[in-house]
A = this chain, B = another copy of it.
Amino acid sequence: MTEVTNPEQPPRTPTPRPGGRTARVRADVVAATLAEVTEKGYDGLTVEAVATRAGVHKATLYRRWGGVDGLVAEALASSADQPWPLPDTGDLRQDLRRITQEVFSVFTDPELGPTPTALISAAQRSDVGAAALRAFFAARHRQAAEVAERAVARGELPTGTDGDEVVRAATAPLYYRLFVTGEPLDARTAERAADAAALAARAGLFASPPAEPDDRNASDDRNDRNDRNDGDGDGGGGDESSQA
């Protein structure tokens, strides 16, 4: 979709003008978008309201961002830069607890929570927003994976452990409640999730498959009622039947 730079010939936008005004407009719009999405929620997010608040004509917003989708994506991209505090306690479980605790704190804080909550919810709606979300979480994962990598370096986790996956396992239950089921989130859940992830990581569940072409694909054996315990701790059961 997005036409990007041609490595051969730098496309050279006719006369790029990243001028001061453009930058100012962008900053104002991002701030206005965040404020609006926080107040009104994503349902009440209107291009015109953002334009009015930012002191910019709505046509400009439509031209540059295409609509609400682009505004949200832009705001999300801007938010992706700010790094979270990364714990380093020397213990994986503790680090993961800090991370999940941080997620819990931010999203449940009546002051800070609504903004990222509304932002993520809004981003899920459109394609551009979804792309921005993927980039956002990819950055988060990559950043937070360091706690797992340090654990590997300490010998706390087996070599080849997928740090991103450890982080995902720890935080998924929180986001699951926040953005899927809509269930309330409590500190206990945050701890449990971290502990469970640490446990699984120590057990080697997130270690990359060395080279085990063990092909027992779990296709459809849901009828047979007992094939209990197919070899414990195999961990590498499935193949990558990656479908979009």
Q: Could you say which of A90, A179, A181, A217 has the most chain B C-beta atoms within 10 Å of its C-beta?
A: A181
Interface string of A67-103 (1 = CB under 8 A from B): 0000000000000000001111111011001100110
Pick the contact of A224: B89, B193, B242 (CB < 8 A): B89
A209→B187 CA distance, assembly (Å)? 13
Contacting residue for A240 out of B171, B187, B227, B234, CB 8 A: B187
Give the residues from 124 to 175 in chain A that come closer than 8 angstroms, CB to CB, to chain B. 124-126, 130-131, 133-134, 137-138, 165, 168-169, 171-173, 175
Stretch at the interface among A12-20, A26-34, A198-206: A198-206
A222 and B87 within 8 A (CB): yes
Give the residue of B176, B188, B199 whose beta carbon is less than 8 angstroms from that of A176. Answer: B176
Across-interface contacts of A237 in B (CB, < 8 A)? 97, 188, 191
Q: How many copies does the complex hold?
A: 2
Decide if A169 touches B193 in the complex (CB within 8 Å). Answer: yes
CA distance A186 to B168 in the complex (A): 14
A46 to B11, CA, bound (A): 40
A8 at the interface (CB under 8 A from B): no
Which residues A103-135 have CB closer than 8 A to chain B? 108, 110, 120-121, 124-126, 130-131, 133-134
Chain B residues whose C-beta falls within 8 Å of the C-beta of A130 in the assembled complex: 182
On chain A, the number of residues with a Cβ less than 8 Å from chain B's Cβ atoms is: 83
Separation of A206 and B234 alpha carbons in the complex (Å): 23
Identify the closest chain B residue to A218 (Cβ): B101
Across the interface, which residues of B come within 8 angstroms of A186, CB to CB?
A: 238, 240-244
Known contacts A134-B182, A175-B176; A93 and B196 CB within 8 A of each other: no
Q: Roughly how many angstroms separate A187 CA and B234 CA in the complex, as a whole number?
A: 11
In the complex, whether A37 has a CB less than 8 A from a CB of chain B is no
For A141, give the chain B residue with the smallest CB separation.
Answer: B181
Excluding A91-B228, A169-B196, A176-B176, 6 further A-B contacts by CB distance (< 8 Å) are A91-B221, A97-B236, A98-B234, A180-B180, A187-B240, A189-B243
